[in-house]
Structure 1
Amino acid sequence: MTRLLVSLVLFSSASFSVSAWAEQSVLELLSDEQNLSPQALMLKVEKEYSGVICDFEIDVENGELIYEVGVIDTERETLTEFEFKAKDGGLINQKVERLEAADKYGLKAVILIEEMEQTFYSLVDKAMEDRNGHIVGAKIDHDLGISYLEIKLIDAMGKRKLAFDIKSQRPLPLLTWD
């Protein structure tokens, strides 16, 4: 029994070390000025592709920072998923699918963004006012009658999330946590 407990403690601390190391690695990649910032890539996507960004995530593949972006086109009723290299914004992969029932909540938020003549980037920019940190993820959603933007951030202090009401253009304090 003692061996099992010691093994669990060692395994738990090893998992924590790997997680802390992974966070540090991601932070270093996001801080590398040779990479496009997430916001710069969002602007590029909005300029070059039709539709509204509904989802943004980062990934690390073979030590290289990759940006994954989802775009909903309400006219074509499609969801396009892109992968871009952070180094130069080069397109790695693009997949287009018809919108499905599971996409309806994101679609509600996209329609509101279009009606308000906003962009995903402008919402992210507004939500990030007076906030520091690197964006590791951002998505729009609609729940409990509220369309909102959720942003995941990382900095030297760790990870945190914030939520931003699309319609009122204000933070959602009940959904903001560190």
Structure 2
Amino acid sequence: MSSSAIRDLAYIAVFAALIIVFAFVAIPVGAAGVPIVLQNAIIILTGLILGGKRGVAAALLFLLVGLIGLPVMAGGRQLLPALAGPTVGYIVGYVISPAVAGFLAYRPAASRSGRLVNLALGGAFGLITQYVCGAIGLMIVTSMSLNAAAAAQLPFILLDTVKICIMVAIASGVHAAFPALTRR
């Protein structure tokens, strides 16, 4: 196995571990009972830093660990019950969003500002991907209408946008410090 492949496997394992660790960062919000989580943003950060292929591999590894029965989902929940419930669409989005974010983030850029634009687009469209997949899952599992499923996303948009801005800043810093990450 080449040193490049070994390095890629290490990156994938580290980011899968980060995704799992940030599942346990859940801040309860009032009486609504829906916590603020960072896991969805870390999934996008994974794509922004590692690119699409390695980002998806990290997300799949995180889900594989969850299939074993370890609590890898937000709030320390297990994966199988989450797959059977209304969050299934978001979980599908967790696999697709790093591909989208990574594809856009890794587009060639002529300047540092161009790289930042690519990262911002990757973060935004990664988040949109999670919302679309989540809404589709809600429609299928709960028989919600399209309007109701879309409306269910509204309370999270502002905070998720802030989280993605932070992830873009982190990814930009990581790429500046480790430019070899993007040389493929």
From the CA coordinates, give the structure whose radius of gyration is larger: 1
The TM-score, its normalising length taken from structure 1, stands at 0.26
The TM-score, its normalising length taken from structure 2, stands at 0.25
Larger helix proportion of the pair: 2
Larger strand proportion of the pair: 1
